């Protein structure tokens, strides 16, 4: 184990294969612990209990608008509000208009789909580098 604590990342998506891929890629970095949530089983209480350093959420989930609503609720939540959120979506034009709404209450970055694994690693690293770990 390194001198630095591993950062906790909550990944919320309705696709188990996507969740596994993100888990494998980020855990291979050796500095992240990835917690996977399928959207329908995710609640704010679970996210609060985890106290993640970063939330990655797919906005175009099968049960739209629940992914969007979860992002808004997490951003507005007293405990989760300071946690940066990476929003992933293939609908960049449509999402771009709505991200401004989310940015009013949360630290949000957009990761357009499709994305490369290098783009995923980069946005996670950059977002966490600009967000101090809770000590």
| Pairing of the two strands 32-38 and 108-112 | unpaired
Q: Tens digit of pLDDT per residue, the chain (135 long)?
A: 444 689 999 999 888 999 999 999 999 999 999 999 987 667 889 999 999 999 999 876 444 456 777 888 888 888 998 999 998 888 767 676 676 777 777 788 889 889 999 999 999 999 999 876 544
Structure-block tokens of residue 53: 């350093």
What is the pTM for the complete model shown?
0.85
Q: Where are the domains of the chain?
A: 7-129
> Smallest Cα–Cα separation from 9: which of 30, 32, 37?
32
Say how far apart CA 98 and CA 119 lie, in whole Å. 22
> Smallest Cα–Cα separation from 87: which of 111, 120, 53, 107?
111
For residue 76, give the H/E element and its range.
Answer: helix 66-76
Q: CATH top-level class for 7-129? A: alpha beta
């Amino acid at each position: 184990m390194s001198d630095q604590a591993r950062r906790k990342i909550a990944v919320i998506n309705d696709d188990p294969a996507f969740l596994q891929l993100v888990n494998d890629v980020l855990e291979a970095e050796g500095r992240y612990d990835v917690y996977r949530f399928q959207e329908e089983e995710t609640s704010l209480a679970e996210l609060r209990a985890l106290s993640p350093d970063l939330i990655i959420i797919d906005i175009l989930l099968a049960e739209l608008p629940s992914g969007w609503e979860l992002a808004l609720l997490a951003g507005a939540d007293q405990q989760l509000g300071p946690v940066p959120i990476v929003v992933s979506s293939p609908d960049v034009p449509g999402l771009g208009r709505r991200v401004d709404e989310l940015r009013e209450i949360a630290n949000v970055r957009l990761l357009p789909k499709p994305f490369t694994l290098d783009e995923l690693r980069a946005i996670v690293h950059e977002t966490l580098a600009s967000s101090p770990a809770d000590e």
